[in-house]
Structure 1
């Protein structure tokens, strides 16, 4: 089976302004998604929510003597990666079916196959 990454790309400010009921609804949707993946014929291998972008560190020229930290290189972005799921599925169609169920009420989901080397 192949692995796929589901990137959850959303507007962070929507979470900052959401009320407790709305945040609970989002969590319920993620819990439901985790339970649904197996029924779709895929397997949930992992996933995490990321802290907001102000907590991120951005590095340029990694693996060189000139590696350095920079300010947010894309401050104009309205939506950012806020979390992800890693799934394993027998084919693209099953992965797509899982991605269609992945919650992203404040943005979108990017489904991307993982390279398999060897």
Structure 2
């Protein structure tokens, strides 16, 4: 994870891909359907860390439930798993963004583009 001290659009992306030769990805925050919040929104590091931790906890719990279901004779389809992983992310992101809004009530939307396509 790269953390910048100042917000400069695409600086971390350029550093990750160009200098460090890392594969970069955006968090699909636009899927939360919060007006003005897109995958291009710079987040505080505490928010990103909370989101990642919650996502891990959610998915870990989900994987344990799926293992039990498989033992009990569940279907375990790929589309079902994809939907569950998406739910894990959305719940984690929603809670992390709620925490950010509480900690930083004057937070502004920095980038107004709605485009969240490929990097």
TM-score calculated relative to the size of structure 2: 0.26
Q: Whose RCO is larger (CA < 8 A, sep 6+)?
A: 1
Give the structure with the larger strand fraction: 1
Name whichever structure is richer in helix by fraction: 2
**What TM-score, normalized by structure 1, do the two folds share?**
0.26
